[in-house]
Amino acid sequence: MLRVTVDLNDDERHLLQWLSEADFSQYGECYGKALDRLVQLGLAQVHGKETERNNTFIAKGDGIMFRAVSLTALGLACARSNRE
């Protein structure tokens, strides 16, 4: 099995694990420096404007705070590696 290791701080590791527990989260729930770094490293992605109202979240609206966020394939692999 491929083991993925990335140097993350505690906040980034916590967010990575939290995001790995669901298919999507909402940007307003997880925005900040930790998410910015995960996106920069290619571990997470912020989805487009179409996810502001077309989603399964309780909150729907206009603007980035309502957009979906998910881990990339690399982010999911990294999260799995951190659990082992």
Domains, the chain, in order of start with CATH, read: 10-83 (1.10.10)
Q: What is the full per-residue pLDDT of the chain (84 aa) written as tens digits?
A: 556 667 899 999 999 999 999 889 989 999 999 999 999 999 999 999 888 887 776 777 888 888 999 999 999 999 988 776
For residue range 41-53, list pLDDT tens digits in order. 999 999 998 888 8
Has this prediction a pTM greater than 0.85? Answer: yes
Q: Which residues contact 71 (CB under 8 A, 6 or more apart)?
A: 16, 19, 20, 38, 43, 44, 45, 79
Instruction: Give the H/E segment covering residue 18.
Output: helix 10-19
25: nearest Cα among 63, 62, 61, 65:
65
- The whole-angstrom separation of Cα 48 and Cα 68 is 8
